[in-house]
């Protein structure tokens, strides 16, 4: 009798410690599990350049020597092999100033803010035709980054390799959500043209794929709220202990109960 009571107590403790429900761990509940579905992408707008963005402008031509003056050469100095990739990158980029302009060799000041990478490439290429034959221009972001905090595996600043980045990309690069992440309440803070906006989205709603916040912008901040069960594990030492021992207790009690029943 005492053994049964003890095992029952262990089972209850294990059950209480497993306080994250299956429903809270699921994402994209509206997406069909069996049937396929297709829909046009309407929210993938081109990223616009903003002041303080760092751009790399690369110019090529059928005459490589003629294109050299238009390409920025690293001024890091010293032994470049000892310079960090970040420092080299800073010297190879054009910083968009507060007024939204970059200053290119020979071409002078060009307005970059408010333009997309493609439109800036088109503008620079048009200016270069005065100096080069069949110029080819490539413009890229060097400092596209977002900050992701809260219930993720590796919170911090995430630097992206390109400008077409989704919130799922950022979460993946941050080590995915923790079991205590509130998938129904994720905050995105965005700054654009001197205005700061706040938007909360849900990963449990498939409408997220159509949200204007699905594709991230430069310097977005993502904060993943915890669920209430997380509060208990932080504030109560006993709950923290149960959170660690709960799975072990549940498995052990289940095994013992199975052996007793089989007898």
Does residue 37 have a pLDDT over 90?
no
Give the per-residue pLDDT at 83: 46
Contact criterion met (CB below 8 Å) for 170 and 148 = yes
Give the per-residue pLDDT at 256: 59
Give the per-residue pLDDT at 222: 94
Q: How high does pLDDT run on average in the chain?
A: 75
Query: Can you say whether the dihedral through the CA atoms of 101, 92, 120, 148 is positive or negative?
Result: negative
* Lateral strand order in the sheet of 156-159: 156-159, 145-150, 221-226, 181-192, 195-201
pLDDT confidence band for 126 (50 / 70 / 90): very high
Give the per-residue pLDDT at 250: 57
94-114 tens-digit pLDDT? 999 999 999 998 888 999 998
- The length of the chain in residues reads 263
Query: Can you say whether the dihedral through the CA atoms of 52, 50, 86, 89 is positive or negative?
Result: negative
- Return the structure tokens found at 108: 């002078």
Give the per-residue pLDDT at 119: 93
In this predicted structure, which of 28-42, 47-61, 173-187 has the lowest mean pLDDT? Answer: 28-42
195 forms bridges with which residues in the sheet?
192
Distances (CA, A) of 258 to 215, 247, 254, 263: 50, 17, 6, 9
pLDDT confidence band for 76 (50 / 70 / 90): very low
- How many whole angstroms separate alpha carbon 88 and alpha carbon 69? 19
- Estimate the crossing angle of helix 2-17 against helix 237-262, to 10 degrees: 130
Give the per-residue pLDDT at 112: 93
138-182 tens-digit pLDDT? 998 888 889 999 999 999 998 876 778 889 999 999 999 998 899
Does residue 226 have a pLDDT over 70?
yes
Residue bearing the bigger pLDDT, 261 or 28? 261
Does residue 74 have a pLDDT over 50?
no
Q: How far apart are the first and last CA of the chain?
A: 15
Does residue 194 have a pLDDT over 90?
no
Give the per-residue pLDDT at 64: 85
**Burial class, 254, CB count within 10 angstroms (exposed 0-12 / middle 13-18 / buried 19+):** middle
* pTM to 2 decimal places: 0.61
């Amino acid at each position: 009798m005492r053994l049964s009571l003890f095992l029952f107590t262990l089972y209850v403790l294990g059950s209480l410690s497993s306080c994250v429900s299956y429903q809270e761990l699921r994402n994209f509940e509206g997406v069909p599990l069996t049937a396929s579905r297709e829909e046009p992408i309407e929210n993938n707008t081109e990223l616009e350049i903003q002041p303080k963005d760092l751009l790399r402008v690369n110019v090529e031509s059928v005459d490589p020597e003629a294109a050299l003056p238009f390409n920025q050469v690293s001024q890091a100095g010293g032994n470049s092999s000892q310079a960090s990739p970040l420092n080299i990158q800073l010297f190879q980029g054009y910083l968009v100033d507060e007024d939204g302009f970059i200053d290119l060799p020979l071409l002078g000041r060009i307005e970059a803010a408010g333009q997309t990478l493609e439109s800036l490439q088109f503008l620079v290429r048009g200016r270069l035709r005065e100096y080069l034959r069949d110029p080819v221009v490539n413009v890229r972001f060097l400092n596209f980054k977002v900050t992701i905090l809260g219930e993720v595996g590796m919170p911090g600043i995430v630097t992206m390799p390109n400008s077409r980045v989704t919130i799922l990309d950022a979460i993946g690069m941050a080590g995915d959500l923790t079991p205590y992440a509130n998938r129904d309440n994720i905050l995105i803070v965005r700054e654009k043209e001197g205005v700061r906006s706040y938007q909360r989205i849900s990963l449990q709603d498939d409408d997220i794929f159509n949200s204007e916040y699905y594709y991230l912008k430069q310097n977005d901040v993502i904060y993943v709220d915890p669920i209430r069960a997380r509060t208990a594990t932080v504030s109560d030492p006993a709950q923290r202990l149960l959170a660690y021992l709960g799975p072990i207790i549940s498995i052990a009690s289940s095994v013992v109960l199975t052996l007793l029943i089989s007898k």
